[in-house]
A and B are shown apart, each in its own frame.
Chain A
Amino acid sequence: MSNPTEPQIGIVGTGVTSSRAASVLHTLGHTPRIESLGSASSLFDCDVVILAHGAPHDALASAFVAQGVAVVSTSDNLADVLALLDGQERAVARGVPVVVGAACLPGLSGLLVTHVSRAFESIDEVHTAVHGTGGPMCAVQHHDSLAGTSIGWHDGEWLQRPAGSGRELCWFPDPVGARDCYRFASAEPVLMQRAHPALQRITSRVSATRRDRLTARLPMLRKPHAEGLEGGLRVEVRGLRDGRRHVEIVGVAEKVATITGAVAAHSALALLKGTVMAGVHNLGEPTLPNADILDGITASGITLHQFIGR
Chain B
Amino acid sequence: MGKSPSNEEAAVKFIRQALIAISLGSMVAAVLRRRTKVVVAPQQGGWREVTPQR
A residues engaging B (CB < 8 A)? 115, 173-174, 250-251, 291, 294-295, 298, 303-310
Instruction: Decide yes or no whether B6 CB sits under 8 A from chain A.
Output: no
Instruction: Decide yes or no whether B35 CB sits under 8 A from chain A.
Output: no
Say which residue of B46, B51, B52, B54 sits within 8 Å of A307 (CB atoms). Answer: B46
Assess the A115–B44 pair: CB atoms within 8 A: no
Assess the A310–B45 pair: CB atoms within 8 A: yes
Assess the A305–B54 pair: CB atoms within 8 A: no
B residues engaging A (CB < 8 A)? 42, 44-52, 54
Query: Most chain-A Cβ atoms within 10 A of its Cβ — which of B47, B48, B50, B54?
Result: B47
Contact residues of A: prevailing secondary structure: mixed
Give the A-B pair count, Cβ closer than 8 A: 39
Give chain B residues whose Cβ lies under 8 Å from the Cβ of A291. 52, 54
Q: Can you name 19 A-B residue pairings with CB atoms under 8 Å?
A: A250-B50, A251-B47, A291-B52, A295-B52, A298-B51, A298-B52, A303-B49, A304-B49, A304-B50, A304-B51, A304-B52, A305-B49, A306-B47, A306-B50, A307-B46, A308-B47, A308-B48, A309-B42, A309-B46
Report how far A107 CA is from B10 CA in the complex, Å: 68
Report how far A251 CA is from B50 CA in the complex, Å: 10
Nearest Cβ in chain B — how far from A306, in angstroms? Answer: 5
Report how far A309 CA is from B44 CA in the complex, Å: 6
Nearest Cβ in chain B — how far from A262, in angstroms? Answer: 14
Q: A304-B50, A304-B52, A309-B44 are in contact. List 20 more A-B contacts (CB 8 A).
A: A173-B47, A250-B50, A251-B47, A291-B54, A295-B52, A295-B54, A298-B51, A298-B52, A303-B49, A304-B49, A304-B51, A305-B48, A305-B49, A307-B46, A307-B47, A308-B46, A308-B47, A309-B42, A309-B46, A310-B45
Give chain A residues whose Cβ lies under 8 Å from the Cβ of B47. 173-174, 251, 305-308
Give chain B residues whose Cβ lies under 8 Å from the Cβ of A174. 47
Report how far A305 CA is from B49 CA in the complex, Å: 4
Assess the A306–B48 pair: CB atoms within 8 A: yes
Say which residue of A305, A309, A310 sits within 8 Å of B50 (CB atoms). Answer: A305
- Going nearest first, the 9 A-B pairs with the smallest beta carbon separation are A309-B45, A305-B47, A173-B47, A306-B50, A308-B45, A309-B44, A308-B48, A304-B50, A306-B48
Report how far A308 CA is from B45 CA in the complex, Å: 5
Nearest Cβ in chain A — how far from B24, in angstroms? Answer: 30
Query: Most chain-A Cβ atoms within 10 A of its Cβ — which of B44, B45, B50?
Result: B50
Nearest Cβ in chain B — how far from A97, in angstroms? Answer: 23
Give chain A residues whose Cβ lies under 8 Å from the Cβ of B52. 115, 291, 294-295, 298, 304
